[in-house]
Amino acid sequence: SEIEAPGSDIDFAAEAHRWFDYWLKGIDNGIMDEPPIHYYLQGAEKQQAMQSTDGWPLKNQVMTRYYFGPGETTGKVSINNGTLDLSPATDSQTFDSYTVDYSTTTGTTPHWTGLGLPHKYPNMRSHDANSLTYTTPPLATTTNIVGHPVIHLWLSTEAPDLDAFAYLEEVDVKGNSIYISQGNLRASHRTPSQAPFENFGLPWYNHFESELQPILANEPFELVFDLLPTAYQFSKGNSIRITIAFADDDNFDTPVLDPPPTLKLLRNTNYQTYVELPVIHN
pLDDT digits (tens, 9 = 90+) for 182-214: 999 999 999 999 999 999 999 999 999 999 999
* Domain co-membership, 30 together with 166: no
Residues 111, 3 share a domain: no
At 16-62, the pLDDT tens digits run: 999 999 999 999 999 999 999 999 999 999 889 999 999 999 999 99
Residues 135 and 209 in one domain: yes
Whether pLDDT at 107 is above 70:
yes
pLDDT at 72: 72
pLDDT score recorded for residue 119: 77
| Residue 74 and residue 24 share a domain | no
Q: Both 27 and 153 in a single domain?
A: no
pLDDT band at 114 (very low <50, low <70, confident <90, very high): low
Question: CA–CA separation, 279 vs 276, rounded Å?
Answer: 9
* Residues 128 and 30 occupy one common structural domain: no
Q: Single out the residue of 222, 108, 213 nearest to residue 164, CA to CA.
A: 222
Asked whether residue 42 is domain-assigned, the answer is no
Q: What are phi and psi of 63, to 5 degrees?
A: -70, 110
Would you place residue 147 in the very low, low, confident or very high pLDDT band (cuts 50, 70, 90)? Answer: very high
What per-residue confidence (pLDDT) applies to 190?
Answer: 98
Would 56 be classed as within a structural domain?
A: no
The answer to whether residue 40 sits within a structural domain is: no
- Tell me, yes or no, whether 8 and 118 share the same domain: no
* CATH code of 244's domain: 2.60.120.260
Please answer whether residues 171 and 156 qualify as being in contact, where contact means their C-beta atoms are separated by less than 8 angstroms.
no
Instruction: Tell me the residue range of the domain where 15 lies.
Output: 1-34
Q: Considering its fold, how many domains does the chain have in total?
A: 2
Count Cβ atoms below 10 Å from residue 6 Cβ, excluding itself.
5
Among residues 282, 279, 251, which one has the least CA distance to residue 112? Answer: 251
Is the same domain home to 123 and 240? Answer: yes
**186 in the same domain as 116:** yes
CB-based contacts of 25, cutoff 8 Å, min separation 6: none
Other beta carbons within 10 angstroms of residue 236's beta carbon come to: 10
Q: Distance between alpha carbon 227 and the CA centroid of its chain, in Å?
A: 4
- Residue 48 in any domain: the answer is no
Going by pLDDT thresholds of 50, 70 and 90, the confidence category of residue 75 is: low
pLDDT (mean) for 154-171: 98
In this structure, the answer to whether residues 132 and 75 fall within a common structural domain is yes
For 282, counting Cβ atoms within 10 Å of its Cβ (0-12 exposed, 13-18 middle, 19+ buried), the class is exposed
Q: pLDDT tier at 74 (50, 70, 90 boundaries)?
A: low
> 233-277 pLDDT, tens per residue?
999 999 999 999 999 999 999 999 999 999 999 999 999 999 999
Q: What are phi and psi of 176, to 5 degrees?
A: -70, 140
Same structural domain for residues 65 and 23? no
pLDDT the model gives residue 110: 86
Position 6 confidence tier, pLDDT thresholds 50, 70, 90: very low
